[in-house]
Every structure is written in structure tokens, then in C-alpha cells.
Amino acid sequence: MNDPETILGVAAGAGDEQIRAAYLRKVREFPPDRAPAEFERIREAYEALRDPQQRSRLLLRADPDAPLVSLLETVARERRFVGPEPWLAALREP
């Protein structure tokens, strides 16, 4: 399946109401009786964005079966946990 946000035409951080509105708009554009293949893609994208676990994986853009190390590599460097070293060094300074 392609990127669900792209299929529905919503931003990556879209809220539940925006996702639902985009889904309904797409269903009206591609009804199941006229475009069954396109409707199925839209339905799968909507289901993926409705499920909190799948949605969090999509936000990380990670493979669900990938090991944790590769999951951490997909997170932007500035969003990673740095560790206690910087604030410990600040406490040690007079």
C-alpha cells in the first residue's frame, strides 16, 4: 500500500476529524460500485490512519518488523533522547 496520507490527501499530522472528512470526500469521489479498486485503497488507507499503532508506525516511517536499532535510526536526530550527560555536566560546573 502506498502512503495513506497521500492516498487520502491529508498532512502527516492531521487530526481524526480531518482524516474522516478526507475519507468521506474520497468515497464520494470514488464510490465502491463504480471504482472498487480505488475504493479499496482508500478504505485501507483510512483503516491504517484510524488505528493508533499503525498510525504511530507511519509517523516514524518504520517497518514494523524491523529491529529497534533501525527504528531509532528513522527518528530525526533532534527528536532522540540525548541522555543524562549534558545536564549532569551542567550540575558539575561551579
- SS3 labels along 3-62: CHHHHHCCCCCCCHHHHHHHHHHHHHHCCCCCCHHHHHHHHHHHHHHHCHHHHHHHHHCC
- Judged against a pLDDT cut of 70, whether residue 85 lies above it is answered with no
pLDDT, tens digit (0-9, with 9 covering 90-100), for 18-53:
999 999 999 999 999 999 999 999 999 999 888 887
Q: What domains are there in the chain, each with its CATH number? A: 4-92 (1.10.287.110)
pTM greater than the 0.75 cutoff: no
Q: Which pLDDT does position 13 carry in this prediction?
A: 77
11-23 per-residue burial string, b: 16 or more CB within 10 A, e: under 16: eeebeeeebbebb
CA distance 55 to 20: 14
In whole angstroms, what is the distance from residue 18 CA to residue 9 CA? 10
